[in-house]
Amino acid sequence: LNKRNRKNFRKLFLGLHGYEQSQLFAEFDFAQRKLIYTFLSPEELANVFDDTEEDPGEMGKYLDEMSDAYVSRLLSEMYMDNVVDIFTDIRPIKRKKYIGLLPSDEADQVRELIHYEDETAGSIMTTEFIKVDKNQTVDTAMQHVKQEAQEAEVIAYIYVTDEANKLVGVLSVRDLITHSDDEKVADVMATRVLAVDVNEDQEAIAEQVRDYNFVAIPVVDASEEIVGIITVDDIIDVIDEESAEDYSHLAGVDTETISRNPFQTALKRLPWLITLLFLGMLTATLINHFEGLLSQVSVLAIFISLITGTAGNAGTQSLAVAVRRLATNNHLKIARLILNEIATGIIIGVITGVCVFIMVGVWKQNFLLGAVVGTAMASAIFVANLAGSLIPIGMEKLGVDPAVASGPFISTLSDLTSVLIYFNIAQYFLQLFIK
């Protein structure tokens, strides 16, 4: 496919969608890529780069392989937000060099975009949008759209500004083509424009776009001037990213960055495991503290893992529910959530406790032991359940993302409380009935 037959390759390759082209491109080796840079024009390659799902850092390496003239034309053809994505992931010296290769007005825009903080509107917006003056007619606006259509990333919406350059309205292409040519833009436009601030968090924006079913949302600065738009394809990436983050946190491991080297994989998982190991050692010293009791009634040891395991499971469930509710329902009353969780904990605890009481009582023909294990189980579940929702709520109050609290953390923590509860209850029952 990739030999000296330039014509055939171009025919096949350019027939593909940009995303498929980028998938192919990612599999080429250095020599093949070098060939590509001669086979494809910078404009054609810009299409491929715009649709890629590859890591921006990877893309930066490709730039190093090209001639300066090629890079210059490639970058100025790409959508601004994608260029900025690449630039944020390469070393400052190189970045400076590449920005120097851009036409001066684009270079200025890139310099500005690059300074927005990660995960804000500014960092994901593009500056290629269509803007018309509110005093224009539908016809002149349409002419303007035709001119700009090749450059703009989304032409579904056209943004309307007033004399002071403030965003005052929005038009859809639908509005333009269904209204007569001589009407004024100001009379046709929708005056209620939902815009987001350039510093707003990307997750909040994603929620708005999802709820309002927008294809794009305008971004304004402090003086209400429109500085960019965020398109729905970037929003989908944000939603994906954020949900992958939540998932990773629940498991206590980054599930997204895939490394082929097992040492790197291990390195990624060990920190959390070792941290929790120390928490586990605390639990062990606690059991050690009760060794006298254990050697006296060694049957108690049988149910340690049953109680810690079940309480850990209940805690994980309540943690996941609390994290999701905090993420989706902002107007939720915290007091209500806690009360609900307390009641749920009592119900789950009592039912599970009774089950265990019967199972242990029948199995060991010892209903006193059953009562000890059952009571301990009920209390441990109640505490783990409550911790599972209180910890994320507390983190939210402290301004920490509640999704960081992980399932393994809750279950290891609940091991500690469960053991404490279990042995105290056992000791109490022993004193009550034996002595």
Among 117, 221, 225, 240, binds its own copies (CB under 8 A): 240
Among candidates 184, 70, 198, 72, which has minimal Cα distance to 123?
A: 198
Find the shortest distance in angstroms from Cβ 136 to its own copies.
Answer: 16
Q: Tell me: does residue 83 bind its own copies (CB under 8 A).
A: no
CB-CB contact of 170 with 189 (8 Å): yes
Among candidates 149, 151, 147, 124, which has minimal Cα distance to 56?
A: 124
Q: Tell me: does residue 236 bind its own copies (CB under 8 A).
A: yes
Q: Give residues 415-434 in contact with its own copies (rule: CB under 8 A).
A: 415, 419
Q: Give residues 147-186 in contact with its own copies (rule: CB under 8 A).
A: 149-150, 155-156, 173-174, 177-178
Which strands make up the sheet holding 196-197, listed edge to edge? 196-197, 216-220, 226-231
CB-CB contact of 168 with 213 (8 Å): no
Residue closer to its own copies (CB basis): 66 or 391: 391
Residue closer to its own copies (CB basis): 69 or 302: 302
Q: How many helices (H) and strands (E) does the chain have?
A: 21, 6
Among 41, 140, 313, 427, binds its own copies (CB under 8 A): 313
Q: Give residues 109-128 in contact with its own copies (rule: CB under 8 A).
A: none
Q: What is Dmax (Cα atoms) for the chain?
A: 99
Cα 263 from Cα 136, distance rounded (Å)? 63
Among 324, 354, 361, 367, binds its own copies (CB under 8 A): 324
* Binding piece for its own copies, criterion CB under 8 A, among 5-13, 133-141, 160-168, 262-270: 262-270
Q: Write the DSSP symbol of residue 117.
A: P
Q: Write the DSSP symbol of residue 220.
A: E
Question: How many residues bind to its own copies according to rule CB under 8 A?
Answer: 108
Find the shortest distance in angstroms from Cβ 53 to its own copies.
Answer: 6
Site string for its own copies, 373-412 (x = CB under 8 A): ----------------------------------xx--xx
Among 104, 223, 298, 431, binds its own copies (CB under 8 A): 298
* Binding piece for its own copies, criterion CB under 8 A, among 30-38, 57-65, 161-169, 257-265: 257-265
CB-CB contact of 220 with 227 (8 Å): yes
Among 108, 255, 358, 394, binds its own copies (CB under 8 A): 255
Residue closer to its own copies (CB basis): 69 or 355: 355
HSE-CB for 251 with a 13 A CA cutoff: 11
- E strands along 204-354, which residues? 216-220, 226-231
Looking at 17-137, list the stretches that DSSP marks H as alpha helix, in order from N- to C-terminal side. Answer: 18-27, 30-39, 42-50, 56-65, 68-77, 80-88, 92-101, 104-114, 121-124
Among 239, 338, 354, 430, binds its own copies (CB under 8 A): 239
Q: Is 368 helix (H, G, I), strand (E, B) or coil?
A: helix
Find the shortest distance in angstroms from Cβ 340 to its own copies.
Answer: 5
Q: Give residues 31-60 in contact with its own copies (rule: CB under 8 A).
A: 51, 53
* Binding piece for its own copies, criterion CB under 8 A, among 41-49, 70-78, 131-139, 290-298: 290-298
Cα 246 from Cα 334, distance rounded (Å)? 20
Q: Tell me: does residue 250 bind its own copies (CB under 8 A).
A: yes
Looking at 252-303, list the stretches that DSSP marks H as alpha helix, in order from N- to C-terminal side. Answer: 262-289, 291-296
CB-CB contact of 155 with 129 (8 Å): no
Element (DSSP H or E) covering residue 244: helix 232-251
Q: Tell me: does residue 352 bind its own copies (CB under 8 A).
A: yes
Among 24, 26, 114, 253, binds its own copies (CB under 8 A): 253
Q: Is 121 exposed, middle or buried (0-12, 13-18, 19+ CB in 10 A)?
A: buried
Among 12, 69, 204, 270, binds its own copies (CB under 8 A): 270
Residue closer to its own copies (CB basis): 36 or 319: 319
Residue closer to its own copies (CB basis): 151 or 221: 151
Among candidates 289, 312, 311, 287, which has minimal Cα distance to 301?
A: 287
Q: Give residues 195-234 in contact with its own copies (rule: CB under 8 A).
A: 209-213, 215, 232-233
Cα 342 from Cα 385, distance rounded (Å)? 8
Q: Tell me: does residue 305 bind its own copies (CB under 8 A).
A: yes
